[in-house]
């Protein structure tokens, strides 16, 4: 496999149909195989040569920089997320309603 090739895993489950049940069975099999990867790394994948490769924090940070176009790292996202959660909890405690809907909620 050349380094230019890429693999995608796509899962579409829209109910209990024969196709969705097959997809879920396949997902369980894939997860089991991932758990059997050697080592203590949280995220790994098997490369084109069949060798396990760890996904490092450097890999994640490089992806974030490329995807965002800015000088951001995973730490920025963790800090931002924690700040949002803290603000939401503070607003609830003092009885204010947050002006911005939670992430993933579309404004009407």
- Please write the tens of the pLDDT for every residue from 39-80: 656 677 788 888 888 888 888 899 899 998 999 898 888 888
**Dist. CA 73–CA 87, nearest whole Å:** 22
| Whether the Cβ atoms of residue 53 and residue 61 lie closer than 8 Å to each other | no
**Dist. CA 49–CA 103, nearest whole Å:** 39
Helix (H, G, I), strand (E, B) or coil at 54: strand
Q: How confident is the model at residue 12 (pLDDT cuts 50, 70, 90)?
A: low
Q: How confident is the model at residue 29 (pLDDT cuts 50, 70, 90)?
A: confident
| Whether the Cβ atoms of residue 11 and residue 23 lie closer than 8 Å to each other | yes
State the average pLDDT for the chain.
Answer: 76
Angle of helix 57-68 relative to helix 74-93, nearest 10 degrees, comes to 80
Domain boundaries, the chain: 9-55
């Amino acid at each position: 496999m050349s380094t230019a090739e890429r693999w995608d895993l796509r899962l579409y489950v829209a109910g209990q149909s024969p196709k969705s049940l097959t997809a879920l069975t396949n997902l369980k099999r894939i997860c089991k195989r991932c758990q059997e990867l050697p080592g203590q790394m949280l995220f790994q994948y098997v490369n084109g040569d069949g060798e396990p490769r760890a996904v490092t924090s450097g890999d994640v940070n490089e992806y974030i920089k490329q995807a965002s176009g800015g000088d951001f790292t995973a730490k920025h996202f963790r800090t931002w997320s924690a700040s949002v959660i803290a603000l939401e909890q503070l607003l609830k405690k003092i009885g204010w309603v947050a002006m911005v809907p939670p992430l993933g909620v579309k404004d009407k």
